[in-house]
Chains A and B, each alone.
Chain A
Amino acid sequence: MVARVLQPIGRTFLASLEASGRLALFTLQSMLHCVAPPFYPRLIVKQMIEIGFYSLPVIGMTAVFTGMVLVLQTYVAVSRLNAESTIPYVVVISLTRELGPVLAGLMLAGRVGAAMAAEIGTMRVTEQIDALRTLSTNPFKYLIAPRLIAAVLVLPVLVAIADIIGVFGGYLVSVYRLDFSPAIYLKNTVDFVETIDIVSGLVKAAAFGFIVALMGTYSGFQSRGGAQGVGKATTDAVVSASILILAANFIITGLFFTR
């Protein structure tokens, strides 16, 4: 009776340990292949365009509406305290430190992480990854490293653009709906924001880019068993990357802002 209860718990525990070990080894191998030649610059550029350029509309729309909503919600709260002048500060701090990188990371997990998992998963189940090996090409160097490098380099750029677009969204609502002075709004934004706010956001963006590409490629690489396996890999990539982004956000925030 006791064994019947304990066995599934033990099996689950061992399976989770095995999965963690597999992911750790995959991460280590991927990172080593990012720094060791041969490199594929053509593929890195291709991935930067795929991840960065084609994500711009999604990230831009997310940022502009987030900036707009942020102003409306903050206005409700601060107007009761007669502290409306703090709105530009709240908007720019929220966007650069938290919402810009986190929302961009989550949108990227949905758009890019899922696509990576589906593409590499399909390559796995149709023996294309085996074919790479037989053509003297290491799949880690050819498939994984370019995606990791591109995502780490591109997401900070996307977040910087998202920050600007988000602040612009806040500006639009503040000036045209809440009758703020355009000059004062912009002056307060520039005066209040500090270098650490922007730097911490960009560091988070690089980390989130790594997470999205890692989980996308890992889930695809591990997929098995045809269309169902590829579907599961896609779901795993998005869910695991999203959770890891939120966890990493907490850790990086702690490192930057806890004294």
Chain B
Amino acid sequence: MSDLKIKVRGLKKAFGPKQVLNGVDLDVPRGKSLVVIGGSGSGKSVLIKCILGLIEPDAGSIEIDGQEVVGMKAAEREDIMRKFGMLFQGSALFDSLPVWENVAFGLIAGRGMARAAAKEVALRKLAAVGLGPEVGELYPAELSGGMQKRVSLARAIAVEPEIIFFDEPTTGLDPIMAQVINELIVKCVQSLGATALSITHDMHSLRAIADQAAMIYEGRIIWAGDAKTIDHSGNAHVEQFVLGRAEGPIRMPVRPL
């Protein structure tokens, strides 16, 4: 078996005239946590959605456990989906369902588990992210942003996936809650022995959860390596991003007032 859980080669995707992904090559080793950083509009979300099968790429190859998934039939795709868990940027909780049913959704609707058994699992997962059983009876609209993220994390891990995707997991949270989420991510990924692929522009989050890191810029991966070496990458784009400087090779198209 290959050491790579996810292997992406030459991935391209355009929306109209805008080429968002322009030949992405990315390797995610089995059991590791890889974080992709990049500025807004650099193609991070499109990359993760292509791997998840939510967007069909125009060209290129995506292998999951050595199996090509681009162009796969819908039924086979659903089997591959069973390996995935996903934490969405906006949590994407189902607002018509109570919290416990959100967490148990993949077990009930996706795997046909009985509701009572699924509820037990859901309450266990909620406890694992620090939420009591009383929260299970609330609706998503009654929760704070941080609680919604934790519920979303509980939903992502409820089906015990092999690969967990995190889309901007700490965006919009205060620093303390962001650190709580980061620590929960590390704990959940390690306890499941899962592979994790995250996208973020939060360097604190990267330092907390990443084993490996990569940077995407103008639709390509321009640097990849050990997360600990990101401060000494030797890549001007990465250095500018890490230090958060306005001056550097990455230019924002702004005009003087």
State whether A137 and B105 are in contact (beta carbons under 8 Å apart), knowing that A131-B92, A131-B94 are contacts in the complex: yes
- A86 close to B (CB within 8 Å): no
- CB–CB B109/A137 < 8 A: yes
Q: Within B77-94, which residues are at the interface with A (CB < 8 Å)?
A: 78, 81-82, 84-86, 88-90, 92-94
Q: Please pick, from B49, B90, B112, the residue contacting A126 in the complex, using a CB distance under 8 A.
A: B90
> In the complex, which of the residues B53, B95, B112, B165 contacts A133, with contact meaning CB atoms closer than 8 Å?
B53
**Cβ of B225 under 8 Å from chain A:** no
Measured in the bound complex, the distance between the Cα atoms of B82 and A50 in whole Å is 31
Count of interface residues, chain A, beta-carbon cutoff 8 Å: 17
Interface string of A122-135 (1 = CB under 8 A from B): 11001110110111
Chain A residues, CB < 8 A from B111 = 136
Whether A136 touches B81, Cβ cut-off 8 Å, given contacts A128-B92, A131-B92, is yes
Chain B interface residue count, Cβ-Cβ cutoff 8 angstroms: 28
Map CB proximity to A onto B183-216 as digits: 1 under 8 Å, 0 otherwise. Answer: 0000000000000000000000000000000000
B94, closest chain A residue (CB): A128
A142 on interface, CB distance cutoff 8 Å: yes
Contact indicator A127/B52 (Cβ below 8 Å):
no
Q: Does B110 contact A (CB under 8 A)?
A: yes
0/1 interface trace, chain A 197-233, chain B, CB 8 Å (1 if under): 0000000000000000000000000000000000000
Complex CA gap A135/B52 in Å reads 11
Contact of B110 among A123, A127, A128, A136 (CB under 8 A): A136
Indicate if the CB atoms of A135 and B105 lie closer than 8 Å. yes
B81 x A134 contact (CB < 8 A):
yes
By Cβ-Cβ distance, the 9 closest A-B pairs, closest first, are: A136-B110, A135-B106, A131-B92, A127-B92, A134-B86, A137-B109, A136-B81, A135-B110, A127-B88
Interface residues of B (CB under 8 A from A): 49, 52-54, 74, 78, 81-82, 84-86, 88-90, 92-96, 105-106, 109-112, 155, 159, 165
Query: Which residues from chain A sit less than 8 Å from chain B, CB to CB?
Result: 38, 40, 119, 122-123, 126-128, 130-131, 133-138, 142
Q: A127-B89, A134-B86, A135-B106 are in contact. List 10 more A-B contacts (CB 8 A).
A: A119-B96, A130-B54, A130-B92, A131-B88, A131-B93, A131-B94, A134-B84, A136-B78, A137-B105, A137-B110
Pull 29 A–B residue pairs with CB atoms less than 8 Å apart, ordered by A.
Answer: A38-B112, A123-B94, A126-B90, A126-B92, A127-B90, A127-B92, A128-B92, A128-B93, A130-B54, A131-B86, A131-B88, A131-B93, A131-B94, A133-B54, A134-B84, A135-B105, A135-B155, A135-B159, A136-B78, A136-B82, A136-B109, A136-B110, A136-B111, A136-B159, A137-B105, A137-B109, A137-B110, A138-B74, A138-B78
